[in-house]
Amino acid sequence: MVLVLHPPPGRDGMTTVFKFGGASIKDADAIRHLGDLLRQLGTRPDVVVVSAMGKTTNALEALLAAARGSDEDDYRQQLAALRSDHLATVEALFSSHNNAVGERVEALLNDLDACHRQYRDDERARHYDQTIGYGELLSTTIVSAWFNEIGLVCDWHDACRLIITDANHQAANVDWAETSQRLQALASGRMVITQGFIGASTDGVSTTLGREGSDFSAAIIAHCLDADEVVIWKDVPGLFNADPRRFDNARQLMKLSYDEAIELAWLGAKVIHPKTLAPLRKRHIPLKVRSFETPDAPPSVISQHGDDDPTPACILAEEQVLLKIQPRDFSFMDEVRQHEVFGRLVDAGLHANLIDGGAMRLSLCLDAHPARLEPFVEQLTADYVLTRHDDLTLLSVRHPTQALLASLSADREILAERRNTQTAQRLFRTEECPETWHIPE
Ligand code: ADP
Ligand code: ASP
Ligand code: MG
What is the CATH classification number for the domain harbouring 419?
3.30.2130.10
Same domain, 323 and 229: no
Reference 256, options 279, 240, 275; nearest CA is 240
Write down the mean pLDDT value for the chain: 94
| DSSP codes joined into one string, 256-305 | EEHHHHHHHHHTT-TTS-GGGHHHHHHTT--EEEEESSSTTSPPEEEESS
Residue 286 lies in a domain: no
Same domain, 320 and 228: no
Q: 425: domain range? A: 313-432
pLDDT on residue 275: 96
Nearest CA to ligand 2 atom 6: 212
Same domain, 228 and 319: no
pLDDT: is 369 or 316 the higher one?
316
Same domain, 99 and 209: yes
- 3-state SS, residue 157: strand
Q: Ligand 3 centre from 23 Cα, in Å? A: 9
Domain-ending residue, one of 205, 234, 263: 234
Ligand 2 pocket mutation pick from 137, 138, 197 by most atoms within 8 angstroms of CB: 197
Q: Ligand 2 centre from 125 Cα, in Å? A: 16
Structure confidence at residue 9 as a pLDDT band (50, 70, 90): very low
Give 330-363 pLDDT, tens digit per residue. 899 999 999 999 999 999 989 999 999 999 999 9
What is the value of pTM for the model shown?
A: 0.93
Q: Ligand 2 centre from 194 Cα, in Å? A: 13
Please return the burial class of 20, using the count of CB atoms within 10 Å of its CB with bins 0-12, 13-18 and 19+. buried
Angle at 231 between CA 88 and CA 192, to 5 degrees: 60
What is the CATH classification number for the domain harbouring 145?
3.40.1160.10
Q: Would you say 205 and 133 are in contact if contact means Cβ atoms under 8 Å apart?
A: no
Ligand 1 pocket mutation pick from 236, 264, 439 by most atoms within 8 angstroms of CB: 236
Q: Is the CB of 349 inside a 6 Å radius of any atom of ligand 1?
A: no
Same domain, 218 and 81: yes
Which residues touch 418 (CB under 8 Å, ≥6 apart)? 354, 355, 356, 424, 425
Q: Looking at the CA of 26, name the nearest ligand.
A: 1
pLDDT on residue 7: 43
Percent of the chain with pLDDT over 90: 90
Same domain, 218 and 323: no
Q: Ligand 1 centre from 64 Cα, in Å? A: 26
Ligand 1 pocket mutation pick from 19, 209, 270, 276 by most atoms within 8 angstroms of CB: 270
pLDDT for 300 beyond 60: yes
Rounded to 5 degrees, what are φ and ψ at 208? -125, 160
Residue 281 lies in a domain: no
Buried b (16+ CB within 10 A) or exposed e, 268-279: bbebbbbbbbeb
Q: Ligand 3 centre from 96 Cα, in Å? A: 33
Same domain, 104 and 205: yes
How much is the average pLDDT of 184-208? 93
Q: Ligand 3 centre from 153 Cα, in Å? A: 26
Same domain, 110 and 218: yes
Residue 353 lies in a domain: yes
* Strand-pair partners of 407: none
Q: Ligand 1 centre from 269 Cα, in Å? A: 7
Which residues have CB atoms below 5 A from the ion given as ligand 3? 212
Domain-ending residue, one of 234, 267, 294: 234
Q: Would you say 309 and 298 are in contact if contact means Cβ atoms under 8 Å apart?
A: no
Per the document, the length of the chain is: 441
Q: Would you say 242 and 270 are in contact if contact means Cβ atoms under 8 Å apart?
A: no
Buried b (16+ CB within 10 A) or exposed e, 325-345: bbbeeeeebeeebeeebeeeb
Residue 271 lies in a domain: no
Residue 240 lies in a domain: no
| DSSP codes joined into one string, 195-211 | ESSEEEETTS-EEE--T
Percent of the chain with pLDDT over 70: 96
Residue 194 lies in a domain: yes
Ligand 2 — pocket residues by CB below 6 A? Answer: 21-22, 51-52, 57, 135, 196-197, 211-214
Q: Looking at the CA of 291, name the nearest ligand.
A: 1
Which residues touch 274 (CB under 8 Å, ≥6 apart)? 262, 265, 266
Q: Ligand 1 centre from 405 Cα, in Å? A: 23
Dihedral over Cα of 388, 424, 284, 41: its sign: positive
Ligand 1: atom nearest CA of 234 is: 3
CA distance 235 to 22: 10
pLDDT for 4 beyond 80: no
Domain-ending residue, one of 234, 260, 288: 234
Which residues touch 266 (CB under 8 Å, ≥6 apart)? 274
Same domain, 201 and 322: no
Look at the chain and report how many structural domains it folds into: 2
Reference 290, options 237, 346, 211; nearest CA is 237
Give 131-163 pLDDT, tens digit per residue. 999 999 999 999 999 999 999 999 999 999 999
Ligand 2: atom nearest CA of 22 is: 7
Ligand 1 pocket mutation pick from 209, 271, 289, 395 by most atoms within 8 angstroms of CB: 271
Give 218-242 pLDDT, tens digit per residue. 999 999 999 999 999 999 999 999 9
Same domain, 50 and 170: yes
Q: Could you tell me the CA-to-CA distances from 23 to 50, 247, 316 in Å, in that order?
A: 11, 20, 21
Reference 253, options 295, 309, 296; nearest CA is 309
Residue 267 lies in a domain: no
pLDDT for 2 beyond 50: no
Q: Is the CB of 237 inside a 6 Å radius of any atom of ligand 1?
A: no
CA distance 414 to 432: 11
Same domain, 120 and 219: yes
Half-sphere exposure of 21 (CA within 13 A, CB side): 23
Q: Looking at the CA of 60, name the nearest ligand.
A: 2
Buried b (16+ CB within 10 A) or exposed e, 153-191: ebebbbbbebbbbeeebbbbebbeeebbebbeebebeeb
Same domain, 227 and 133: yes
Q: Looking at the CA of 51, name the nearest ligand.
A: 2
Q: Would you say 189 and 2 are in contact if contact means Cβ atoms under 8 Å apart?
A: no
Q: Would you say 425 and 417 are in contact if contact means Cβ atoms under 8 Å apart?
A: yes
pLDDT on residue 310: 79
Q: Is the CB of 39 inside a 6 Å radius of any atom of ligand 1?
A: no
Which residues touch 382 (CB under 8 Å, ≥6 apart)? none
Residue 179 lies in a domain: yes
Radius of gyration of the chain (CA): 23
pLDDT for 97 beyond 80: no
pLDDT for 10 beyond 70: no
Nearest CA to ligand 1 atom 20: 243
Task: Provide long-range contacts, Cβ within 8 A and 24+ apart, for 78-86.
Answer: 79/109, 79/112, 79/113, 82/56, 82/109, 83/109, 85/53, 85/56, 86/53, 86/138, 86/142
Reference 365, options 396, 334, 339, 343; nearest CA is 396
